Amino acid sequence: MGRLIVKYQDRLYNAILKICGNSDDAAELTQETFVKVLENIGAFRGQSSFYTWLFRIGVNLALNFCSRKLRLGMCSLDGGVGEQEKFSLAANLPDKREINPVAIAQNRELARQVLAALEKLEDNQRAIIVLRDIEAMSYEEIAEVLQIELGTVKSRLCRARMALRELLQTVWI
Amino acid sequence: MSEKEYLEKNELISGYIDGQLTPRQITELKRLLAHDSQCQQELEAMERQQRLLQSLPVESAPAGLTQEIQSALERQFILGGSVRHSDTVGKWGLRLRKAAAAAAMILLPLLALSAVVYTILQPTEQAPNTSSEPVAAIEKGASASPELLFSAVLQFQTNQPIAANDFIEKKIHTLGLMNFTTPARQSDRTSYKIVCSRKYVEGLVGELADLWSHSEKASYALLDTSTKQPVCVDGIDAQQALAMIRLADISTAAKLAQNISEQNTQKALVKANPADVAEPRPEKPSKPILAWDKDMQQVPADGQDTICLVIEVLGQ
């Protein structure tokens, strides 16, 4: 189990962090995922890979946590990019030919804005984008993790990307 | 363009950037791109968006998370599945747990008081095992068995039961005694029934020496497997507990118990004297024998010295 933890904890933590948006919660959810994996190891039949099974548990926990957090009004997901912060990303796009402190700072700012936009998506949309575009899972793996049909993966992913594009639109121009 | 057509077009774009389109769909998209400049822009925006997401910094798990996970798994292993539920995640979960702990602090003394009142008012009926006497626990927890050399209970009263339990569980795990330990939890106490070779129990009790400094009181009760006569020592310290565990026969144990009780009474008198000096810290025994070092299946059948020790932590 120790080797499995070392092997997967970073990827799982990173994905959960992108879904729930808070490092403390992500660490605790990652820990809880491994505890649940141990609890239910008898139920793992090997029909899917351990990796997708682990992520199924982790993503489910993260989504449940997000919906509970939203229901209890623990924090507002509207607290990301404020109106005053919306400005042209075109002006902030770094020049790839040079790496300097300014470019690094611009990259950080860009990442911050993308993450803030990601936070504004619905939980299910955010999860599918994280799994596909950040975790680089195949459609089949995403279907396995989220327990949805392949066709649903395609349509949900498309809608999520459209919603994110909409949110980022103000910064593209 | 209708909403349906707009969605279909975007599904094509989304599928295209993921390489999921059939040749026919690719042809269809190329036709769209050739005639629709907006479609071209949407494709570029989606590709750029994907590149951005892929270039987001990958956050590594915080240092120490591996250790925390392993500790949680060990706790899970020892306690047989009562670590946490998903309801308790996050800072609000923490507040919930704090509120629950506060409620428990109020309710548990009331429950204990109720049990005492019930015992007084109903003297003829069998009282439940709410007694803090180790003899009560010995009869319930460490039932005598003909294969056992003896059964005993080592009981700690503490106002830090969670820390005490964590400490005991860690030591049990470190010494590789999980397979020989049966934990049980009640509202006011946690017990660990350990059945294995005496030398491993000695090692464990030696490792628990620090627990004494965090306990209000420690008591020890020994049950002779043949006569079922209990021998009790109230206010036992770490060295005395080790000495009791090392004893083989009940008559010697009874004498030692009497000596220890007398010693403890004298110590109490000395403590009452203002000129009392600090009591020396109980000396830890040499390195304990680890059950890990042996084949786990071989340990219980290790000669004629298998004993049962119930370690009980009382406190709310």
Q: Which residues of B touch A172 (CB under 8 A)?
A: 45, 48
- Per DSSP bridges, beta strands B181-185 and B189-197 are antiparallel
Asked if the structure places residue B89 within a domain, the reply is: no
Helix/strand/coil for B290: coil
Clarify whether residues B205 and B247 are in a common domain: yes
Q: pLDDT tens digit string along B150-161?
A: 788 888 888 888
Helix/strand/coil for A130: helix
Asked if the structure places residue B62 within a domain, the reply is: no
Where do we find the tokens 């008591």? B219
Clarify whether residues B147 and B114 are in a common domain: no
Clarify whether residues B240 and B309 are in a common domain: yes
Choose the weakest-confidence range: B208-222, B231-245, B289-303: B289-303
Rounded percentage of chain A residues whose pLDDT exceeds 90: 46
Task: Kindly report each contact of residues B183-189 with a partner whose C-beta sits within 8 Å and lies 24 or more positions away, as own/partner.
Answer: B183/B78, B183/B79, B183/B80, B184/B141, B185/B79, B185/B82, B187/B108, B187/B111, B188/B108, B188/B111, B188/B112, B188/B130, B188/B314, B188/B315, B188/B316, B189/B312, B189/B313, B189/B314, B189/B315
* pLDDT for position A157: 95
Does B148 score more than 70 pLDDT?
Answer: yes
Average pLDDT rounded to a whole number, residues B205-234: 78
Quote the CA–CA distance of A107 and A89 in Å, as a whole number: 11
ipTM value of the model?
0.80
Quote the CA–CA distance of B66 and A5 in Å, as a whole number: 7
Q: Which domains, from first to last, does chain A contain?
A: 1-75 (1.10.1740.10), 78-173 (1.10.10.10)
Does B255 score more than 60 pLDDT?
Answer: yes
Choose the weakest-confidence range: A44-58, A96-110, B61-75, B134-148: B134-148
Clarify whether residues B150 and B296 are in a common domain: yes
Where do we find the tokens 């793992």? A44
* pLDDT for position A79: 42
Write the residue in B11, B59, B77 that is nearest to A155 by C-beta: B11
E-strand spans in B114-234? 150-157, 181-185, 189-197, 217-224, 230-234
Q: Say how many domains are in chain B.
A: 3
* Distances, alpha carbon B117 to alpha carbons A33, B122, B187, B244, in Å: 45, 8, 17, 34
Quote the CA–CA distance of B209 and A85 in Å, as a whole number: 59
* pLDDT for position B177: 84
The mean pLDDT value of chain A amounts to 81
* pLDDT for position B87: 46
| Nearest alpha carbon to residue A128 among A152, A100, A103, A102 | A152
Clarify whether residues B14 and B31 are in a common domain: yes
Asked if the structure places residue B33 within a domain, the reply is: yes
What HEC string does A78-108 produce?
CCCCCHHHCCCCCCCCCCCCCCCHHHHHHHH
For the beta carbon of residue A43, count every other beta carbon within 10 angstroms. Answer: 8
* pLDDT for position A44: 80
Clarify whether residues B17 and B151 are in a common domain: no
Q: pLDDT tens digit string along A7-44?
A: 888 999 999 999 998 889 999 999 999 888 888 887 78
Clarify whether residues B122 and B30 are in a common domain: no
CB contact under 8 A, B52 and A35: no
E-strand spans in A32-170? none
Write the residue in A30, A39, A74 that is nearest to B81 by C-beta: A39
CB contact under 8 A, A30 and B69: yes
Measured over the CA atoms of residue A79, residue A84, residue A85 and residue A88, the dihedral's sign is positive
Selection from A47-51, B7-11, B110-114 with the highest mean pLDDT: B7-11
Q: In what order do the strands lie in the sheet with B217-224?
A: B181-185, B189-197, B306-314, B150-157, B217-224, B230-234
Does B253 score more than 80 pLDDT?
Answer: no
* pLDDT for position A155: 94
Clarify whether residues B173 and B121 are in a common domain: no
Quote the CA–CA distance of B239 and A66 in Å, as a whole number: 52
Rounded percentage of chain B residues whose pLDDT exceeds 70: 67
Of the residues B110, B128, B146, the one at which a domain ends: B128
| Nearest alpha carbon to residue B32 among B1, B9, B6 | B9
Beta bridge partners of B152: B222, B309
Q: pLDDT tens digit string along B1-52?
A: 688 888 889 999 999 999 999 999 999 999 999 988 889 989 998 998 999 8
Cα angle B12, B14, B18; round to 5: 110
Clarify whether residues B216 and B266 are in a common domain: yes
Does A75 score more than 50 pLDDT?
Answer: no
Identify the band that residue B111 occupies on the pLDDT scale cut at 50, 70 and 90.
confident
The mean pLDDT value of chain B amounts to 74
Asked if the structure places residue B61 within a domain, the reply is: no
Choose the weakest-confidence range: A156-170, B133-147, B229-243: B133-147
Phi, psi of B189 (to 5 degrees): -155, 155
CB contact under 8 A, A165 and B42: yes
CB distance A133 to B55 below 8 Å: no
Of the residues B78, B108, B128, the one at which a domain ends: B128
Average pLDDT rounded to a whole number, residues B58-72: 84
Rounded percentage of chain B residues whose pLDDT exceeds 90: 9
Clarify whether residues B194 and B117 are in a common domain: no
Q: pLDDT tens digit string along A87-118?
A: 334 444 444 445 577 777 877 888 888 889 99
* pLDDT for position A83: 34
Quote the CA–CA distance of B114 and B107 in Å, as a whole number: 10
Domain interval for residue B44: 3-51
Asked if the structure places residue B69 within a domain, the reply is: no
Asked if the structure places residue B25 within a domain, the reply is: yes
Does A78 score more than 50 pLDDT?
Answer: no
Clarify whether residues B156 and B243 are in a common domain: yes
Chain A residue with Cα closest to B87: A65
Asked if the structure places residue B92 within a domain, the reply is: no
Quote the CA–CA distance of B302 and B299 in Å, as a whole number: 5
Clarify whether residues B183 and B277 are in a common domain: yes
Q: pLDDT tens digit string along A58-71?
A: 999 999 998 887 66
User: Which helix (H) or strand (E) segment is B307 a member of?
Assistant: strand B306-314
Selection from A152-166, B142-156, B220-234 with the highest mean pLDDT: A152-166
- 13-32 in chain A: CB under 8 A from chain B: 13-14, 17-18, 22-25, 27-32
Q: Looking at CA atoms only, how far is residue B292 from chain A in angstroms?
A: 17
Asked if the structure places residue B68 within a domain, the reply is: no
